Each structure stands twice: as structure tokens, then as C-alpha cells.
Amino acid sequence: GAVVSQHPSRVICKSGTSVKIECRSLDFQATTMFWYRQFPKQSLMLMATSNEGSKATYEQGVEKDKFLINHASLTLSTLTVTSAHPEDSSFYICSASGFGGHYEQYFGPGTRLTVT
């Protein structure tokens, strides 16, 4: 149980384009989904928290117009990186909580974004 998938696993895009990353909880309904960014050899940095049907809550310093989050259902959240720049290149990981009525987060496998 508690499987979270992400798609795509890696993506290369050109500067100025937009990229959408999907996060799905495959075997449970996630009350909350989270989006993280991770730089090499560093811990996870929370970008935003989202609940189904409501607006995401962004962490300080994260531009909500640049990182658009849509939480359309209890099993799907998407992160769109708009007008991507090379400095947006990173490892993006989503997580979902709510499995078994607990609040611990289960993570997806991550998406490696490279902006050229």
C-alpha cells in the first residue's frame, strides 16, 4: 500500500517553455499532497502544500505564479513550472499523506527537470 507515482521521471525542456509534472496516489486517497525541490546533496525543500479542491499554500520565497499547483482530485496533483529558466533545473519530488488515516508522507520517485 501507499504507492505514489510521478510522471515524467525526467524531462528536458528549453528556456521559456512550461513543464507539467503529475503526482498520483495509486492505492489511497490523499488528503494532502506536497511538492518538494531537492538540490544535489541537500535535504528536501518544501515548496507548497495542497489539499484537493483548494488553493495551494506556498512556502516563503516560492513564486506561486511560476510554480502552478492544481490538486484536481484526491489522487492527483500537478505542478507546472512556467516560463522555465536554467536555474529551475532540479529534482522535484511530490508526496501524499492520508494513507490509513495517518499523516505521514509517502513520496513519489521524483522528476529530474533540466532546462536548457
> Burial of 99 by CB count in 10 Å (0-12 exposed, 13-18 middle, 19+ buried)?
buried
Comparison of 31 and 107: residue with beta carbon closer to another protein: 107
Contact between 75 and another protein by CB under 8 A: the answer reads no
Contact between 47 and another protein by CB under 8 A: the answer reads no
**In 3D, which of 91, 107, 80, 114 has the Cα closest to residue 24?**
107
Q: Work out whether strand 111-115 and strand 10-13 pair parallel, antiparallel, or are unpaired.
A: parallel
Contact between 55 and another protein by CB under 8 A: the answer reads no
Comparison of 15 and 92: residue with beta carbon closer to another protein: 92
Binding site for another protein (CB under 8 A): 2, 4, 6, 41-46, 49, 59, 91, 93, 95, 102-110, 112
